[in-house]
Amino acid sequence: MEILGASLRICVDDLDTAIPFYERLAGGRAMRSERGGVQVAAVGSFLLMSGPEAELELLRKVTATIAVKDVDEAHRLLTDLGAHVLAGPVPTPAGRTLLAMHPDGSVFEYVDHRS
């Protein structure tokens, strides 16, 4: 499995207020989207999320988002290594995603991007 990078997941009260800080910090522009009632902004290595507390409570349990070349390959390797796939792979507007709990109990999101 080829890991392309990782994003730090940060829940914020107000996305519009938080974005300028992270754009200056990361030196790039935010790419915004919405998923399940949660507003999301990707800025460099930061993934900012804002929305209903019930949704954010679940999102806070995910340690990080790992970008991989191929989610299917990640699925096979994670399963072989004893991880428990909690959800996915499922399609998203940008590619596919899956949630997996590692044997140590930590939860990660794995994503790939399709053009």
Residue-by-residue DSSP string for the chain: --EEEEEEEEE-S-HHHHHHHHHHHHTS--EEEEETTEEEEEETTEEEEES-HHHHHHHTTEEEEEEES-HHHHHHHHHHTT-EEEEEEEE-SSEEEEEEE-TTS-EEEEEEE--
For residue 98, what pLDDT is reported? 95
Length of the chain as a residue count? 115
For residue 115, what pLDDT is reported? 57
Look-up: residue for tokens 């998203």? 92
CA distances from 39 to 14, 58, 85 (A): 10, 14, 25
Q: Determine the Cα–Cα distance for residues 72 and 89; give it in Å rounded to an integer.
A: 7
For residue 56, what pLDDT is reported? 87
Structure tokens given for 44: 């460099």
The pLDDT averaged over each successive group of 10 residues in the chain (115 residues) is 90 95 95 88 93 88 93 96 94 88 95 80
For residue 49, what pLDDT is reported? 94
> Which amino acid does the sequence have at 34?
E
